[in-house]
């Protein structure tokens, strides 16, 4: 297929065409030509006012649901959700059934059919059945295409096991992704422990559960010299520890979520919205502002959605019994613009940084693969359920106005433009 995109603002700090308006000709999955004006026959021609293009966006932590939980989402619907959000690369956690913990599980995801406009990257489990007791076949999974290693939403509690995993991945310069959460501290906590949790009458989870694990895992990364990525950072105190670790030269990177930059515990004062039941929990307004500042100054390297599909029955129930997590892929760009971040700041944390950290090559240059996202930053979108690609609907952004619209994306020879 040949696609001609006319008069598009190129946003790519690694491209010689950065911040210029150009035509882009794509042929058979490659960027064939970039010029001020291109006259060529094409199967599809795209011309839209105020259109921008960047390298394809990346989400490094999306809940795996296939195999085992296809009623929430299968690989096709997850790909559709990602494509609607402008993402061309999605990392899937290993919390499937069976767990993604061997060569077979990794290849099931990495070999997902070539007609999908999104590349799905499996994250291999650190421990067998994500039970935190015994290491998996890490090297075999690496050889088969695992992008990184994590126990996903069941973070490794044993320091001894995690240090072995960190030492193991140093052999091939791999990455361990960890949600910093000490499960033994207030295991029945449903939201941030504060005066707000007292007001709404829900058991709280103290900041200490995150702080202890951030400090411990940074110490393990320092000891092993392995690359550790902490995701789901939700506290100002965690930001301070990460900032110091980076200053000390410890190989630590970090991500927060779109919802921790958007919502706070105070949003639960307006009602027991189960879509706001997430882990780590929503924190204070001071924490939200600290996270936003950390995105701006580079302490936080990546923003991820922690996109977690849940069946309707898991959300239409009492808050105590509701499943954790919300959808975020489809709305991510508009949500981030609503926080006040600039387009350049957003691209840094959903495009340039994740690509650099996880070695995903690509730029908007002639001869490069057509791994691109097209968007209109100044377009207002009334986000509805129709904007979702997921089978699930647990999205708190429905019926909100978002500043920014994804027009489509291309990945190699596939496109949803």
* Mean predicted confidence (pLDDT) in 62-88: 97
Cβ burial 22-38 (10 Å sphere, 16+ → b, else e)? bbbbbbeeebbbbeeeb
Answer whether residue 93 shows pLDDT above 90: yes
Pairwise CA distance, residues 375 & 416, whole Å? 12
Residue 355, both tokens: 């690509």
Domain extent listing, the chain: 2-52+366-388+399-415, 58-357
Q: What are phi and psi of 126, to 5 degrees?
A: -75, -45
Strand partners, 24: 5, 34
Pairwise CA distance, residues 416 & 80, whole Å? 9
pLDDT at 324: 98
Q: Residues 368, 31, 378, CA angle at the centre, nearest 5°?
A: 105
pLDDT at 366: 96
Reduced to 3 states, what is the DSSP secondary structure of residue 236?
Answer: helix
pLDDT at 417: 84
Q: Residues 92, 324, 259, CA angle at the centre, nearest 5°?
A: 75
- Which range is least confidently modeled, 110-124, 180-194, 326-340? 110-124
User: pLDDT tens, 351-385?
Assistant: 999 999 999 998 999 999 999 999 999 999 999 99
User: pLDDT tens, 122-166?
Assistant: 999 999 999 999 999 999 999 999 999 999 999 999 999 999 999
Pairwise CA distance, residues 379 & 192, whole Å? 35
pLDDT at 322: 97
Reduced to 3 states, what is the DSSP secondary structure of residue 83?
Answer: helix
Pair 349, 302: CB distance under 8 Å: yes
Pair 257, 294: CB distance under 8 Å: no
pLDDT at 294: 98
pTM score: 0.97
* Mean predicted confidence (pLDDT) in 26-34: 95
pLDDT at 48: 87
**What dotted CATH number matches 58-357?**
3.20.20.140
Tell the CATH topology of 2-52+366-388+399-415: Urease, subunit C; domain 1 (2.30.40)
The runs of H, that is alpha helices, within 145-207 are 159-169, 195-200
Pair 261, 332: CB distance under 8 Å: no
Reduced to 3 states, what is the DSSP secondary structure of residue 397?
Answer: coil
Pairwise CA distance, residues 132 & 415, whole Å? 40
Query: What torsion do the CA atoms of 235, 357, 72, 193 make, to the nearest 10 degrees?
Result: -10
Answer whether residue 114 shows pLDDT above 90: no
Give residue for tokens 């001869």.
367
User: pLDDT tens, 209-255?
Assistant: 999 999 999 999 999 999 999 999 999 999 999 999 999 999 999 99
* Mean predicted confidence (pLDDT) in 29-39: 95
Give residue for tokens 């690496």.
142
Pairwise CA distance, residues 54 & 304, whole Å? 17
Which stretches does DSSP call E strand in 210-319? 227-230, 252-257, 302-304
- Which range is least confidently modeled, 21-25, 96-100, 115-119, 222-226? 115-119
pLDDT tier at 112 (50, 70, 90 boundaries)? confident
Which stretches does DSSP call E strand in 109-198? 119-124, 148-149, 175-178, 191-192
Residue 80, both tokens: 């559709």
User: pLDDT tens, 181-206?
Assistant: 999 999 999 999 999 999 999 999 99
Answer whether residue 1 shows pLDDT above 90: no
pLDDT tier at 113 (50, 70, 90 boundaries)? confident
pLDDT at 117: 84
């Amino acid at each position: 297929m040949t696609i001609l995109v006319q008069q598009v603002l190129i946003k790519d700090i690694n491209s010689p065409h950065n911040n210029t308006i150009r035509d882009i000709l794509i042929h058979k999955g490659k960027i064939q030509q970039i010029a001020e004006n291109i006259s060529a026959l094409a199967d599809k021609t795209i011309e839209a006012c105020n259109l921008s293009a960047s390298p394809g966006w990346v989400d490094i932590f999306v809940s795996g649901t296939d195999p085992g939980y296809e009623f929430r989402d299968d690989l096709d619907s997850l790909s559709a959700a990602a494509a609607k959000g402008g993402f061309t690369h999605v990392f899937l956690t290993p919390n499937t059934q069976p767990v993604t913990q061997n060569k077979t599980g990794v290849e099931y995801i990495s070999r997902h059919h070539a007609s999908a406009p999104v590349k799905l990257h499996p994250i291999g489990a650190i421990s067998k059945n994500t039970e935190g007791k015994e290491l998996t076949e890490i090297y075999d999974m690496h050889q088969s295409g695992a992008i990184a290693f994590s126990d996903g939403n069941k973070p490794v509690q044993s320091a001894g096991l995690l240090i072995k995993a960190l030492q193991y991945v140093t052999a091939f310069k791999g990455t361990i992704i960890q949600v910093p959460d000490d499960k033994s501290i207030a295991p029945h906590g449903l939201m941030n422990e504060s005066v707000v949790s007292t007001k709404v009458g829900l058991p709280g989870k103290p900041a200490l559960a995150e702080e202890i694990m951030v400090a411990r895992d940074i110490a393990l990364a320092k000891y092993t010299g392995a690359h550790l990525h902490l995701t789901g950072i939700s506290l100002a105190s965690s930001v301070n520890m990460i900032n110091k670790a980076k200053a000390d030269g410890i190989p630590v990177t970090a991500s927060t979520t779109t919802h921790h930059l958007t919502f706070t515990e105070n949003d639960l004062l307006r009602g027991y919205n189960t879509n706001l039941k997430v882990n780590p929990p929503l924190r204070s307004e001071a924490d939200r502002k600290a996270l936003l500042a950390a995105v701006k100054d580079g302490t936080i390297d990546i923003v991820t959605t922690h996109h977690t599909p849940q069946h309707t029955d898991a959300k239409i129930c009492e808050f105590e019994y509701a499943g954790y997590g919300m959808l975020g892929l489809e709305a991510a760009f508009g949500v981030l613009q609503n926080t006040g971040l600039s387009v350049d700041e957003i691209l840094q944390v959903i495009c340039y940084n994740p690509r650099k950290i996880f070695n995903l090559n690509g730029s908007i240059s002639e001869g490069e693969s057509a791994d691109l996202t097209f968007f209109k930053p100044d377009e207002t979108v009334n986000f509805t359920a129709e904007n979702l690609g997921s089978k699930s609907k647990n999205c708190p952004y429905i019926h909100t106005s978002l500043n920014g619209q994804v027009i489509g994306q291309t990945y190699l020879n596939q496109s949803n433009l």
